[in-house]
Amino acid sequence: MGNVLIVGDLHGNTGHALASVQVAARNDCAKMFVVGDFGAWEHMLSGRRYFDVVSKAAKRAGVIVYFLDGNHDKSSLLHEMYDGKRDDEGFLICRKFLRYAPRGHRWTWEGTTFAAFGGARSTDKGWRLARESRKEEQAERRRRYGSLRQSDASGTLWFPEEEMTDDELDALLEADSSPVDVLLTHDKPRASRPKFNRKDRPECFPNQDRIQRVVQTLRPGLHVHGHLHFRYTESISCGGDRWTRVEGLGADPDASQYPGYDNEDSWMVLQLPYATELLADAASGKAG
């Protein structure tokens, strides 16, 4: 029997990332999986250093760190740099002990089937684009005054690939729509109703509907996501008499500021093999 530590958004918070690696080691988890907003910013020096530091810490702890993309991860660059470097399970090898699960990726650990679907909508898109524009204006002023430094701020804070498109999802589900035991995503399914929901906005609903469609199609026993920065448990119908247990995870302490937040809200231990539960009693589907 093996354990996997599933972790909520890290946002490139090195201290919290290293603490999570230690939590994995203490709980006999040889694997740690981050459900998006990991901190994949290798277009910046700080992002490359972050990857190096996390991989080295994982090596020392005897853990391999996996992640899917959130809306604040530059997934296009991950594909550009690592599509040709995949391990035997199909993960992209970003560092020896750091691996990326692209959208729609499927794999099996300890007889338990998994699928990963990254992406979500950034509610602060306008602020990020405005800040990119200001940075570009500053760079242009430096060039006018003779600076040789070249700078392009576009695509540094907001990434156009942040959400799945309907066509992308159609292609992924057409390629394989078979059920899985565990679904890992960044965004929430539309049907879940956490008590604290900072993404309850019309612009966020299309991607939540996509995740809902994934749940209805793959019918997982367990679905774990991040993005809301809030810890909750709920069960939702995934069709017929089948129910999916949804676990929303908190984020790093700099981002999770709801009342009563605890660092333990940002992770959960999943024991493998995972036994898919069929919840026949609708009463068990109420939020925890």
Other Cβ atoms less than 10 A from the Cβ of 272: the count is: 19
For residues 170 and 99, what is the distance between their CA atoms, to the nearest angstrom? Answer: 25
What architecture is the 2-121+163-285 domain classified under in CATH? 4-Layer Sandwich (3.60)
Q: ∠ CA 30-32-38 to the nearest 5 degrees?
A: 155
What mean pLDDT, rounded, does the chain reach?
Answer: 91
**For position 96, what pLDDT does the model report?**
98
**For position 155, what pLDDT does the model report?**
79
Domain ranges of the chain: 2-121+163-285, 123-157
| pLDDT tens readout for residues 97-148 | 999 999 999 999 999 999 999 999 999 999 999 988 887 776 666 666 665 4
**Residues 175-184: what's their mean pLDDT?**
97
pTM score, two decimals? Answer: 0.91
Which range is least confidently modeled, 12-21, 139-148, 235-244, 253-262? 139-148
Query: Is pLDDT larger for residue 287 or for residue 277?
Result: 277
**For position 285, what pLDDT does the model report?**
42
Q: Are 233 and 243 in contact (CB under 8 A)?
A: no
**Residues 159-185: what's their mean pLDDT?**
97
